[in-house]
Structure formats: C-alpha cells, structure tokens
Amino acid sequence: MQIPPPQLSDHTVKQLVVRPVLGESPLRAQEAAAQLALPYNPALRSDEIELIVGETSAWLETAGLKVAIRYDSAAMLHRRHGGQNELLGRAVGVKSDRHPVVFDATGGLGRDAFVLADLGCRVTLCEQTPALAWLLHDAILCAQVSRYDGVRDAAERMTVHVGKSEAQSLGAATVIYMDPMFPERKKAAAVKKEAMMLQYLSASNDGGESLMNWAWQQAVDRIVVKRPLKAPVLGKRKASFALSGKSVRFDVFVRHVRGG
C-alpha cells in the first residue's frame, strides 16, 4: 500500500508522531515513520497524537485516549453475530446470491467494512488520513493470519485506499457506503473515545455534505448513509427507504443509472 505524505490544514487539531512500544524493537516504528513522512519520537507521552507501533501491535493514543483496530477482538467476534449486521447487509443489498462491491467512503476504524466483508462483500475502505490508513492496513494484515477462519476470509475481501473519496470515480457495480461523523449522536463511553480520536484526525468535517454531493455524481445504483436514529436525512434528497435499529438508521438511496 502506497502512503502519500500527510496533508495538514488549518483545521488539523494535533500533529501526529510515531513512537515505538517501550521495550520492543523500534524497527517497525521507524519504518512506519519513514513511510508516512511523520516525526519519529521514542520519548514517552506528548501533547501530539501518537501512532504507537510495536513488533506485532499498533494503536493511536493521545490525551488518555487509546484506539486500536483488531478485527479478531472479543468485541468484533461478538459483533459478527449481532442483529445490526442483518440491517447493514440489507441496506447495501446483500442477498444469498448477491454480494455487492462496496466503496466505504469514510474508512475510519473499518468496523462496518469488516462486517460487510464478513457478509461476503468486497470492500474498499477509503481513508484520507495516512496514519489511520496505515493502521487499517496493518489491522487487515493481522486479521489475515487470525486463528479464526471467518476473520481471515473477511480480511481477504478488504482493501485500503489512501486519499479523499471525492477524488474517486466509481461505476454502477459499486455501492457507496458512508458513516459521516455526527457529534450530536449519543454514544457509549468507548464509542465517544473513538469518535473523539477520529475528530482529532480529521482535517475538516462538514457533516458529510460534500461526500453526499460527490456520491450523487457517481454512476452507482445505490448509496447507503448511516445516521443516528433521529437525525435528519443527509442532503436534500429523500431516501428510497430506511432501515432502523435501536440507535442507528441506514438511509438507502436506490438509483437507476446506466453506464460505467
């Protein structure tokens, strides 16, 4: 995976640095810093966001927040059998004989992308923050050697693309999926922590309006937007239908587009 240099803007909240895990070989951390063109700082603790890289593990940390991506964690193994997976699968159009190609326009931590891959879809996760894209790619590599067959199989169907979704051109065979950050959503403590980290890493956030405008310019037959249960529909168009769970809703926009 080719990682471009980080593009910082006036909206960037914190600088990213790479730090090795104390007591472990620093080689992989040094390689990550060089690949990402980020400062390498072996000192403990800082006011920046740290991409902490060990010999076999990696995570993001800042101001007491620690966020890791493990697709074979107990939480993710539990989620593989969760009821919300059925809603997500139905939203993107999964059927027994149909497993759409999905473009996840808001890669983030890749949890929904993993669920879709576990349901049989091929998923491209687009993430514009290079350090987070690196972490996603590393998590997928780890999942590919998991002791769980299902986790390995799902990971083989996941690919990370580094860059802005708005720069991509997609064809009709692809379903666009997005989960824009939404600060008003009531979250559990762990989810709030992860949302805060993603907001630290985001150079800008217009609530998903620009992504939605881009999505409607693509020659795709379906756009799926994850929303808090009581949030307004993103954009000015009415959803074709919505699937609601206990706390989230999937707004589905079905289009009839011809051509690539």
Same domain, 129 and 222: yes
Q: In total, how many domains does the chain have?
A: 2
Instruction: Give the residue ranges of DSSP H helices in 47-188.
Output: 74-79, 84-92, 111-118, 130-143, 149-155
Same domain, 143 and 204: yes
**Beta-bridge partners for 62:** 65
Q: Which domain holds residue 29?
A: 16-67
Rounded CA-CA distance 193/46 in Å is 18
First to last CA, the chain: 26
Rounded CA-CA distance 92/76 in Å is 20
Same domain, 237 and 185: yes
The pTM of this model reads: 0.88
Tell me whether residue 4 is in a domain: no
Tell me whether residue 101 is in a domain: yes
Give the DSSP H/E element, type plus range, for residue 178. strand 174-178
CATH number of the CATH domain containing 59: 3.40.1630
Instruction: Evaluate whether 7 touches 129 at the Cβ level (below 8 Å).
Output: no
102-112 per-position pLDDT tens digit = 999 999 999 99
Tell me whether residue 28 is in a domain: yes
Tell me whether residue 81 is in a domain: yes
pLDDT tens digits, the chain, 260 residues: what are they? 665 544 433 344 468 999 999 999 999 999 999 999 999 988 876 678 999 999 999 999 987 789 999 999 999 998 888 767 889 999 999 999 999 999 999 999 999 999 999 999 999 999 999 999 999 999 999 999 999 999 999 999 999 999 999 999 998 889 999 998 654 445 555 556 777 788 778 765 667 899 999 999 999 999 999 999 999 999 989 999 999 998 899 999 998 765 44
